[in-house]
Amino acid sequence: MLRVLCDYLLEHEVLIDLLPLKHDWPSVAFRQTEWEAMEGETIKSIVAQESGKESFLQIETEAGVYRWVSEGDCCAQAYLHDLPDEKALKSFIGQKIVRWEVGDVTIQTDSPGYEQLDVQFYTLHAGREMLQLELRTEHNGYYGGWLQLKSSPECHWIVGR
């Protein structure tokens, strides 16, 4: 029943807020407030990696685990480009998340095998550290890509506003 409710909310784009979470199910389309919800939390661990066709950023805080995965429409391939290594990410552990900045999508160049390559930057400010993620989406000019929050079976929602 809970899965049906979550799917309905997503399908009808009902404004939602996430409460204390562990993120792994179901998918929640990107909204700026989801990034803002992490502000003030302390980073316990952070991983950025590619796994097959999927690339992701995973941040564990005292509130739970946030896993942001590159997603593309049916005819688009989205991925995080030039991910930082484990050594570069260690400096974020113990830092408080200050803010996220989400840049506009820009068309960089034509892409081999696709008609268009979109680039969008996501910037994490934590303590004195800054991490910039580059999301690339290859597609035919009609579709797009984004970073998607995957949330846990303990799907807690406040609906309305």
Residue 103 has pLDDT above 80, yes or no: yes
pTM of the model: 0.70
In this prediction, residues 123-152 reach a mean pLDDT of 87
Residue 85 buriedness (CB in 10 A; 0-12 / 13-18 / 19+): exposed
> Is pLDDT larger for residue 102 or for residue 89?
89
pLDDT band at 4 (very low <50, low <70, confident <90, very high): low
DSSP assignment letter at 63 = T
Mention every residue, 6+ apart, whose C-beta is less than 8 A from residue 53.
77, 79
Q: Which helix (H) or strand (E) holds 77?
A: strand 76-81
Confidence of residue 129 (pLDDT cuts 50, 70, 90): very high
Please, are residues 147 and 137 in contact by the beta-carbon 8 Å criterion?
A: no
> Environment class of residue 73 by beta-carbon count within 10 Å: exposed (0-12), middle (13-18) or buried (19+)?
middle
How many Cβ atoms are within 10 Å of 141's Cβ, its own excluded? 13
Q: Say yes or no to pLDDT of 3 above 70.
A: no
Regarding predicted confidence, which is higher, 152 or 85? 85
CB atoms within 10 A of CB 88: 13
More confident residue, 111 or 55: 55
Write down the pLDDT at residue 23: 34
With a CB cutoff of 8 Å and minimum separation 6, the contacts of 125 are 97, 98, 99, 100, 101
> Band of the pLDDT at 139, cuts 50, 70, 90?
confident
Q: What proportions of the chain, in percent to the nearest 5, are helix, strand and coil?
A: 15, 50, 35
